[in-house]
A = this chain, B = another copy of it.
Amino acid sequence: MTSALGSPGEAARALTIRDVARHAGVSISTVSRVMNGKRVRPELEQAVQQVLSDLNFRPSAVARSMVNGTTQTVGVLVEDISSAYYAELIKGIEGVLEKTGHHPLFKSSHWNVEFEEEALRVFLDHNVDAIIVVGGLLPEARLAALVGRLPLVIVGRSGLSRVSLSLGAALLTLDQRGGAALATRHLIELGHRQIVHLCGRPTQEDALARLQGYRDAMAAHGLEVRPEWVLEGDFLEVVAYRAMLGLVERKLPFTAVFAANDQMAFGANLALHRKGLRVPDDVSLIGFDDLPVSAYMVPPLTTVRQPAQQLGEAAARAAHDLMNHTSPVLAQLQLNLVLRESTRALRR
Contacts and interface: CB of A to CB of B under 8 A. Distances in A.
Interface of A: 5-6, 9, 11-12, 58-63, 65-66, 71, 80-84, 87-88, 90-91, 94, 103-108, 121-122, 124-127, 148-149, 166, 237, 241, 263, 266-267, 269-270, 273, 292-293, 295-300
Contacts of A299: 273
Given A81-B91, A267-B296, 15 more contacts: A6-B148, A9-B148, A59-B125, A62-B71, A80-B91, A81-B90, A81-B94, A81-B106, A103-B105, A104-B106, A105-B105, A237-B292, A237-B296, A266-B293, A270-B296
A108 B125 contact: no
Nearest to A308: B82
Contacts of A295: 237
A113 to B, nearest CB: 16
Contact of A12 (B5, B58, B148, B266): B148
28 contacts: A9-B148, A58-B121, A59-B125, A60-B125, A60-B127, A62-B62, A62-B65, A62-B127, A66-B66, A81-B81, A81-B87, A81-B90, A81-B94, A82-B90, A82-B94, A84-B293, A94-B108, A103-B105, A105-B105, A241-B296, A266-B296, A269-B298, A270-B296, A270-B300, A273-B299, A293-B293, A297-B297, A297-B298
Most B CB within 10 A of own CB, among A58, A61, A166, A299: A61
B58 A125 contact: yes
A76 to B, nearest CB: 10
Give the top 8 A-B pairs by smallest Cβ distance, nearest first: A82-B87, A82-B91, A266-B296, A61-B125, A61-B126, A62-B65, A273-B298, A270-B296
A18 B120 CA distance: 23
Contacts of A71: 62
Residue of A82, A126, A300 with most partner-chain B CB within 10 A: A82
B81 A237 contact: no
A166 B62 contact: no
Contact of A11 (B82, B125, B149, B237): B149
Contacts of A122: 103
A332 B82 CA distance: 24
